[in-house]
Amino acid sequence: MSIADVISFDNTEVAFKSKSDKELKRDYRLFKLLSYPWLARTGAKMTAVLLKAGLPVAGIIRKTIYEHFCGGETLAECQKTIDELAASGVYSILDYGVEAKNNEADFDHTAAEMIREIDFASENDFVPLISCKMTGLGRFELYEKVQQGDRLTAEEEKEFNRIRERLEKVCRHASENNVSVSIDAEESWIQEPVDKLTHEMMEKFNRGRVVVMNTAQMYRKDRLDFLKDAVAEALRKGYLYGIKLVRGAYMDKERARARAMKYPSPIHETKSECDHDFDEAVRFCIDHYEKVYTCVATHNEASCKLFVNLIEDKKLDKQHPHLLCCQLYGMSDHITFNLAERGFRAAKYVPYGPVREVLPYLTRRAEENTSVAGQMSRELQLYKTEMTRRGL
């Protein structure tokens, strides 16, 4: 049996079951608009300017792109989205979408919000995980300095300890409340301290179950070896490993910095090398599924089919808690809902937060959903197929 035979992602009836005709047409119009690269780019920039100027555009954004890609402004507002996804057997991973903060009060506020997220998740059977960005808990420049190996001042040492304390508080609370925390990967020049802190927390909390998960960006040339070494170390030290596999979101920025600073780019030269490493990582993790919790986080159909195929091939329990496939809310419903329909553990990353705060996230979604970025034509085609099927 070929990979393609195991599951088809073409069933649009399953993919869009939860959308009314009106919602389907509205979302089709949104994706159609986003398919114009110039509109997606200038629209996002203009919105930021208009919001800054205090013009009342938040309402328009909220009713359009925000509602499509975000769960709500608050945890309570996310409940409806979580329930709708759960009705189709789809899990939610909450993601407080506030980015790039730089003062201690904001970092404390983000940590407190994560504690609230954990309490909220512990009361929702369909929210097994929350996500955490380390730049929400500490200053980017400080991580950078730690990675460079520069000597920290006494003040900076204290500041770094406060980051560790915030993270530990969040992980401990998750551990006590049967929730897991997935730590995002960001720019390669801050990733070393992020990996180190994450592994520290894993060693502390991943004893009976996986409480803490790291993220590996497989567009990086060194991540397959990194992953294998990290799992070997976890096995040696007797703790469970948790990993979210992604391709990576900062390719242009990574390459530009490497060029400007004249060091070899850490990113694969070609997409096929990146795809190769991603799929190798999926194989490696599933081979070790008893000790490694894997979240295959991608919109790539071939990688999702590989995940399914390996589970079927090895006759694993599709509902094993260490096997999860995840897409972003508002994208690739054809993958998520068809996976869930066939009994696999599938999830959506559900960002939430004030409209103004999640704007950088929305800008990235707008840009990656243009026809140039490629995701778009597939989404549009699926919406069209379903509209035709319903005779709309």
Residues that bind ligand FAD in the complex, under the rule CB under 6 A: 184-185, 215, 217, 219, 246-251, 267-268, 270-271, 274, 297-300, 326-328, 349
Dihedral sign, CA of 304, 227, 101, 50?
negative
Q: Which is nearer to ligand FAD, 4 or 49 (CB)?
A: 4
**Shortest distance, CB of residue 187 to ligand FAD, whole angstroms?**
9
**Shortest distance, CB of residue 247 to ligand FAD, whole angstroms?**
3
Rounded CA gap, 24 and 342, in Å? 23
Query: Do residues 210 and 198 lie in contact, with contact meaning Cβ atoms separated by under 8 Å?
Result: no
Q: Which is nearer to ligand FAD, 144 or 156 (CB)?
A: 144
The 8-class DSSP code of residue 154 comes to H
Rounded CA gap, 215 and 64, in Å? 30
CA proximity to 216, closest of 248, 187, 192, 182:
248
CA proximity to 278, closest of 266, 268, 293:
268
In 3-state terms, what secondary structure has residue 126?
A: coil
In 3-state terms, what secondary structure has residue 295?
A: strand
**Shortest distance, CB of residue 115 to ligand FAD, whole angstroms?**
21
CA proximity to 121, closest of 146, 142, 94:
94
Q: Which is nearer to ligand FAD, 47 or 375 (CB)?
A: 375
Q: Which is nearer to ligand FAD, 150 or 295 (CB)?
A: 295
Which CB contacts under 8 angstroms, 24+ apart, belong to 256-263? 257/189
Q: Which is nearer to ligand FAD, 275 or 386 (CB)?
A: 275
Q: Which is nearer to ligand FAD, 16 or 329 (CB)?
A: 329
**Shortest distance, CB of residue 392 to ligand FAD, whole angstroms?**
28
Q: Position of tokens 């899990």? A: 91
| Conformation bin of residue 354: beta by default, left when phi > 0, alpha when psi is -120 to 50 | beta
Cβ-based burial of 240 (10 A; exposed 0-12, middle 13-18, buried ≥19): buried
Q: Where are the alpha helices (DSSP H) in the chain?
A: 3-6, 12-15, 21-34, 37-52, 58-61, 67-69, 75-87, 104-122, 140-148, 154-176, 188-205, 223-237, 251-261, 271-287, 301-313, 333-341, 359-368, 375-389
Q: Which is nearer to ligand FAD, 94 or 274 (CB)?
A: 274
**Shortest distance, CB of residue 224 to ligand FAD, whole angstroms?**
14
Rounded CA gap, 358 and 374, in Å? 23
Q: Which is nearer to ligand FAD, 158 or 253 (CB)?
A: 253
**Shortest distance, CB of residue 20 to ligand FAD, whole angstroms?**
25
**Shortest distance, CB of residue 215 to ligand FAD, whole angstroms?**
4
**Shortest distance, CB of residue 185 to ligand FAD, whole angstroms?**
4
Query: Do residues 99 and 354 lie in contact, with contact meaning Cβ atoms separated by under 8 Å?
Result: no
**Shortest distance, CB of residue 6 to ligand FAD, whole angstroms?**
19
Structure-block tokens of residue 201: 């927390």
Planar angle of CA 336, 337, 343, nearest 5 degrees: 95
Q: Which is nearer to ligand FAD, 90 or 315 (CB)?
A: 90
Q: Which is nearer to ligand FAD, 28 or 91 (CB)?
A: 91
**Shortest distance, CB of residue 369 to ligand FAD, whole angstroms?**
11
